[in-house]
Amino acid sequence: MRQDDLWDSEAAQSYDTPGTGMFADAVLKPTVARLTELAAGGRALEFAIGTGRVAVPLAEAGVPVTGIELSRPMLEQLRTKVDEQTIPVVVGDMATARAPGTFTLVYLVFNTISNLLTQAEQVACFRNAASHLDAGGRFVIELWVPELRALPPGRAATVGTVEPGYLLIDTYDVLHQRVVSHHVTYSPADGDGRDARLFRSPHRYIWPAELDLMAQLAGFELESRHADWTGAPFTAESPSHVSVYRLPADR
């Protein structure tokens, strides 16, 4: 399943959920505030900018933002919000594409590094981030912690979310460190489920320790790790993390 096939026009048109879910103010405001702080007055580059969920409010907060995006339909949705002069975007793979200039911050949010399905591609993503950064620059990754402890013995799936109108089931291939997320959306009022829709996305999951090693291979050091964008402590029970990696100031 290719990522540019996965994020097609249908996915792009249904991606935004203004005011709810990952588009809720409670999610976006601390994200934008933390990224503004980490940009430290410089330019920011978003890998996999998508429809601009984070980039648009970050630019509105005064941070100059550039993007890299593989999916042209997702980019078309972004262009309904801002033009190329406001947020320039390079079409390409975040592991290899090059944006002009250098930046104080590169960021990759909402588990998107796991869309790269091999370890080699994920390492290349770190190296690509490093190549875009000024000395002392930061690479920020938001990523979930694999839920293998919740995987019953002999079973290949976990139920991630159950709420009215939405069901998430993850199926694991622990041999190849892969997971496929099955997103089922439906109308709670539909008793027979005829309107249910399925969207599947493949991922290569990454443990925090492996992520840190990828960072070291690209010349980064771990500066901080928190459970979320508000700075909550990261613990063994945290379902996700926001990790900040930094290049040496004298590289």
Closest residue by Cα to residue 248 from 102, 133, 126, 129: 133
Residue 54: per-residue pLDDT:
97
Tally Cβ neighbours within 10 Å of residue 43: 19
CA distance 203 to 43: 29
Q: Return the H-helix or E-strand segment holding 13.
A: helix 9-13
Residue 29: per-residue pLDDT:
97
Residue 193: per-residue pLDDT:
63
CA distance 48 to 93: 8
33 is written with which tokens?
A: 């505030």
pTM (two decimals): 0.91
| Distance in Å from the first CA to the final CA of the chain | 38
Each residue's pLDDT tens digit in the chain (251 positions)? 556 667 677 777 777 788 888 889 999 999 999 999 999 999 999 999 999 999 999 999 999 999 999 999 999 999 999 999 999 999 999 999 999 999 999 999 999 999 999 999 999 999 999 999 999 999 999 999 998 888 878 888 988 888 888 899 999 999 999 999 998 888 877 666 678 888 888 999 999 999 999 999 999 999 999 999 999 999 999 999 999 999 999 86
